[in-house]
Structure 1
Amino acid sequence: MTYLRASMRSLSWLTVFVIILLAWWVMFDMARMSGVDVWGRPVGMNMMPMESFGTLFAMWAIMMAAMMLPTMVPTMGTYDALIKSANGTRLGWVGVLLGYFAVWVGMAAALAALQLVALQAGIVDGLGAFHSLWAAGVLLLAVGAFQFSRLKATCHGVCHAPMQYFLGHWRTGFVGGLRMGAGLGVFCAVCCWGLMALGFVGGTMSLVWMGLATLFMVLEKLPQIGEYVIRPMGAALIVAGLAVIGLAAVG
């Protein structure tokens, strides 16, 4: 029985990491097929903009797997500990992961719809980047200011210390895991919406933005340093927003 449990644990974690790697590979392939470089800039004459809801939703959903599943690793490690010390189960572990990701799939649908509306209104181009430096600067300022908000602190507190959430909302089994995962997903979506929205500044097909945003969100959730990176990032975003607005004003 102990060997079986260890094997299931290893298989569960391996599956998650394989999904993350596959999602990044698919995003890289989508960027290549769309005719953009790693910065999201068009290269050559074969650019293929994404202009339908179905295509945009697929892109955002895969992007969520690539960017948000790595940030979930500390939380899933916490639940893993509860399998040993409490009455957690491997099915509950899977439920937490699926419930969490379901929230981000919903976020993917919302962002795809937003991008489609913005595209039809001429606010963004076919690769999801703002036409206007003013819009880019304002979004940078808004996301930077959010890093200092009470709402950010509250939601980050849950994401940063999932053990407290699990102890306060503990449910057993797969369905219980789904409920807890969905709750964690909501907190995480509110905590990280700004970093996802920043894709509209440099283009939603920018692999550089995806990588940097993923790295920062992972750092935010690390127990040792998470609380120390939020405000410096907010300050950096505000400075960047002011710089972009300055460029817009002189241009």
Structure 2
Amino acid sequence: MPAITRSVLWLSFFAAILLAWAWMFMMARMMGVDWIGRPMEMMQMGDMPMMQMTTFGALFPMWAIMMAAMMLPTMVPTLRSYEDLMTSANGTRAGWLGVLLGYFVVWVGFAALIAVAQIALMASGLIDDLGIANSLWFAGLLFIVVGLFQFTRAKEICHGVCHSPGMYFLGHWKTGFGGGLRMGLGLGAFCVGCCWGFMALGFVGGVMSLLWMGLATLFMVVEKLPQIGHYVTKPMGVLLILAGIGCAVYGVIA
């Protein structure tokens, strides 16, 4: 029975990820954007009604689903680490679910914050209704800010927890669903601190760009892998800063 329960939970976990990606694809189609987040030709859209994502009531669910699509895959090492401690530290499947729920609750909270940020950026004219930067200067600034963050102490601390969740569990271990929930909330907070910048970069190419979502998810997964995660953080920072400088220079000469 424990093996069956484990299999069902893991299959449900991966099914939720696939469902979130499928939902994002459908939302992109309803908004009339292609896989890179740009408006499709009207002749391709036919009579399909176009969804307007300009209010909190529309943006918050979109970002919450996006958090599920992008961040749940990065949680696999964390859930595996919890499983490794289930026997030696009296962990339970209820605790496993608590960790998962706590983690996702924090990211849903972040979804609310970034939805408000998107509304403010649209009101200021810095991004359009599709969440795409209207200015190369603004896009360049986002690249540089996120790139510089990769070299900060805050990034190092948050990434250290995300990269080695087993150490966090050993230092904050609580049993049962409630204990798992508390640990999940803590891990989620560190994960937001580690990865917020890659969510903000959605405003460069469009928050409904499936290409951006896929690339950002891939990098965040790699960044949390135990063997290689520490080796990609600062090189990515360099690339982001160079991209920001490139945007700024192009903005001058264009």
TM-score by length of 1: 0.97
Q: Give 1:130 shift.
A: 1.1
Amino acid in the other structure paired with 2:133 = F
Aligned to 2:185: 182
Please provide the CA RMSD for this pair: 0.9
Shift in Å at residue 83 of structure 1? 1.0
Within the candidate set 12, 28, 35, 1:38 is matched to 35
Query: 158, 162, 179: which one pairs with 2:161?
Result: 158
- For residues 149 and 97 of structure 1, the distance between their equivalents in structure 2, rounded to whole angstroms, comes to 27
CA distance in 1, matches of 2:124, 2:251: 20
**CA deviation string 1:23-46 (max 9, x = no partner):** 000001111111111100001235
**Which of 147, 150, 161 is matched with 1:147 structurally?**
150
- Match status 1:61 vs 2:64: yes
Query: Unmatched 5+ residue regions in structure 2?
Result: none
Deviates more, 1:48-57 or 1:201-210: 48-57
Offset of 1:208 from its aligned partner?
0.4
Distance 1:10 1:43 in 2: 41
Is 2:71 the partner of 1:74?
A: no
Q: Shift of the alpha carbon at 1:108?
A: 0.3
Q: Give SS of 2:87's match.
A: helix
Secondary structure of 1:115 counterpart: helix
Q: Which amino acid aligns with 1:90?
A: R
In the TM superposition, 1:1-251 aligns within 5 A as: 4-45=1-42, 48-251=51-254
Deviation at 1:57, TM superposition (A): 0.4
Letter of the aligned partner of 2:222 in structure 1? L
Deviation per CA, 1:49-102: give whole Å up to 9, x if none.
Answer: 411111100110000000000000000000011112220000000000000000
- Structure 1: gaps (5+ residues): none
SS in 1 for 2:129: coil
Alignment TM-score, normalising by the size of structure 2? 0.96
Which AA in structure 1 matches 2:188? G
How far apart, in 1, do the equivalents of 2:183 and 2:220 lie? 20
CA distance in 1, matches of 2:231, 2:52: 38
| CA–CA distance in structure 2, aligned partners of residues 117 and 139 of structure 1 | 15
Give 1:119 deviation, angstroms. Answer: 1.1
